[in-house]
Structure 1
Amino acid sequence: MTIFLLLIPDFALILLGSALRRYAGFADAFWEGLERLVYFVLFPSMLFFAVARSHIDFAAMGPLFLAGVLAMAVGLLLGLLAKPWMGLDGLQFASRVQCAFRFNTYIAMAVAGKLHGAAGITMMGVLCGVMAPIANLAAVSLLARHGQGGVLREILRNPLIIATVLGLLCNVAGVTVPVPLAALLTRLSDASIALGLLAVGAALKWGSPGGHSFGLVWLVGVKLMLLPLAAWFFVPWLGLTGLPRDMAVLFAALPTASSAYILAMRMGGDGTGVAWLISATTVLSVFSMTFWLSLL
């Protein structure tokens, strides 16, 4: 119950974003602008500042990175098992299977901060920064036969990855963020979580996804239940305890990334089905994450 109450404010923001999008009369252009503001300005500012100013235990990060890769690999392999049950062509299935292993960075940072404060945000920020290009590479590769490539360009232009790398460089070099800049980044960071979660809620979409329902249920189950279960097996094997262990389990339990819809649409895929999976995993994750995090 304590974990559930801890998650309620963040998921209330997601539901508020969904309600505002549908009933408050804000134009679609407003939400598109908000998403761009969060993605290109607010979240990169928070990631850079958190990573640049915090002490990072690099010895613990190697096993944590491996846990992240293993979790995504399990999601991909188990997701591929659903193909005979989906009743979809190759492009449609490739669009949906990415939802079994991609992760929502906004929710990751919000929950990590609730669990472990600045230390949680820093470690999760570094983990997501390293895992994002791997997830993008896997997702784009699945769709590459049917759309435009540009995998390396997408990675190099990703503002979250750029912010994480710059923060790591400053951290390693011992660069201290000047006080005026630190004050600015603090204010941007304060705004990032709330506005990011509102944007997640505004992006939720429901409708008839098409295909066999069992395949959809399988992909949701893989993302929310089987990945965190697998993480619990990886954690002791990799020697992760304390904060790194918590971040590994949280990472595996995250709902699907909203950007999966953008990628599917850009590459001519099944946007409707992907939007349904993003919405389902986001809403249900409040209950699944409550369960998994309560075991920590």
Structure 2
Amino acid sequence: MLAQLGAIALVVAPVFGLIGLGFIASLSGHLRERAAEGLSEYVFGLAVPVLIFKTLAEAQLPQEGQPWGYWIAYFTGAFLVFALGMVAAKRLFGRGHLESVIQGFTSGQANTVFVGVPLILQAFGPEGAVPLFLLIAIHLPIMMVLATVLAEGAAAGVSLASLRRLGRMLAFNPILLGIYAGGIAKLAGYVPGGVLKQTLDMLAASAVPCALVSLGLALHRYPIRGDIGPAVLITTLKLGVHPAIVYALTRVLPMPPVWADVAVVFAAMPCGINAYLLAQRYKAGVTAAASAVSLSTAASLFTVTIWFLILGVS
């Protein structure tokens, strides 16, 4: 037990240590707002897409095809906590439809890039990269489409303008472009070499530390500032209920063991900053979303450790 905790600490401590470093740097004024925005743009627009492209181009894909149990397990959990978050917002906190959708989306939307990529790669290495990036490829589109349809479809139907806006956002999303490019390179049998490989290696190596420091800087901008009740409930759904559902399903549905563990850890990630951005776009549930992002990120230091213990990560 102590040996396993020591091994987990070697995975978790550097990840959350860099998040804490970014938070302290922002809190102290050592790195200012423009540094936070610039680093976030670099991570999201260049470093992580290059990491994904490089990893997928060089990856060994499963010979037996896609394990559909993997997708069923993860998204069953995601949709259930989305629904539970919506129902709780309406019944427990008396919120309207739009704010209930935002709280449901916050409950089901994981922080895949800034926490998921560093933590899962640190825990499972290259073997966990393929299931991680394949899930990222469809996670954001599915959750964003669902949230948009529920938010706008209740009153007058989903508008053409909103669908166009969503389509543009997904079509030019740098993370998705990295996934598509990596998939095409893999299908074509292209693996970067020479100077290009060295350049991509350097960019990819910067992705994880920069993403973690960037998240720490961002958390100072999204403080716990109210709506504590909904934030605590959302955090419980995201860090406890979601991975518990996925864990139960991965024990009975067919998939490789590493894929099962990646699905559970992916589900155990804190609320994604996209939830806060969506709340800002619709001007509903902003305080609850911001509080849930910060609270779930802080709490995930402990809950992720527990899930690693349950999964036997060592």
TM-score, scaled to structure 1:
0.92
**Structure 2 match to 1:224:** 239
Give the counterpart letter for 2:111 in structure 1: N
Aligned partner of residue 10 in structure 1, secondary structure: helix
Kindly indicate whether residue 102 of structure 2 is the aligned counterpart of residue 95 of structure 1: yes
Cα shift at 1:92? 2.8
Kindly indicate whether residue 34 of structure 2 is the aligned counterpart of residue 26 of structure 1: no
Map 1:128-143 onto structure 2 (within 5 A). 128-143=136-151
**CA distance in structure 2 between the aligned counterparts of 1:80 and 1:96, rounded to whole angstroms:** 6
**CA distance in structure 2 between the aligned counterparts of 1:34 and 1:140, rounded to whole angstroms:** 28
**Structure 1 match to 2:304:** 289
**Structure 1 match to 2:40:** 35
Cα shift at 1:232? 1.5
Kept in 2: contact 1:45–1:185 (CA 8 A)? yes
**Structure 1 match to 2:130:** 122
**Structure 2 match to 1:104:** 111
Map 1:163-242 onto structure 2 (within 5 A). 163-204=178-219, 205-210=222-227, 213-242=228-257
Cα shift at 1:241? 3.7
Kindly indicate whether residue 285 of structure 2 is the aligned counterpart of residue 270 of structure 1: yes
- 1:232-284 superposed Cα distances (whole Å, 9 cap, x missing partner): 11102212242111111111111111122122212323322211100111110
Kept in 2: contact 1:51–1:126 (CA 8 A)? no
Give the counterpart letter for 1:40 in structure 2: G
Q: 1:74 aligns with which of 58, 65, 80?
A: 80
Kept in 2: contact 1:254–1:285 (CA 8 A)? yes
Give the counterpart letter for 2:308 in structure 1: L
Give the counterpart letter for 1:209 in structure 2: G
**Structure 2 match to 1:11:** 16
Kept in 2: contact 1:64–1:127 (CA 8 A)? no
**CA distance in structure 2 between the aligned counterparts of 1:209 and 1:67, rounded to whole angstroms:** 33
**CA distance in structure 1 between the aligned counterparts of 2:230 and 2:277, rounded to whole angstroms:** 21
**CA distance in structure 1 between the aligned counterparts of 2:13 and 2:151, rounded to whole angstroms:** 35
Cα shift at 1:121? 2.5
**CA distance in structure 2 between the aligned counterparts of 1:176 and 1:221, rounded to whole angstroms:** 42
Give the counterpart letter for 1:154 in structure 2: M
Cα shift at 1:171? 0.6
**CA distance in structure 2 between the aligned counterparts of 1:206 and 1:51, rounded to whole angstroms:** 35
**CA distance in structure 2 between the aligned counterparts of 1:177 and 1:151, rounded to whole angstroms:** 32
Cα shift at 1:61? 4.1
Q: Which segment drifts farther, 125-134 or 186-195?
A: 125-134
Q: 1:61 to 1:166 in 2, by over 3 A?
A: farther
Cα shift at 1:5? 4.0
Structure 1 ranges of 4+ moved more than 6 A: none
Gaps (5+ residues) in structure 1?
A: none
TM-score, scaled to structure 2:
0.87
**CA distance in structure 2 between the aligned counterparts of 1:222 and 1:207, rounded to whole angstroms:** 17
- 1:23-79 superposed Cα distances (whole Å, 9 cap, x missing partner): 134221221111111111111010111011111116244332222222211221221
Aligned partner of residue 295 in structure 1, secondary structure: helix
- 1:186-220 superposed Cα distances (whole Å, 9 cap, x missing partner): 1111111111011111111224323xx44332211
CA RMSD across the alignment:
1.9
Q: 1:152 to 1:61 in 2, by over 3 A?
A: farther
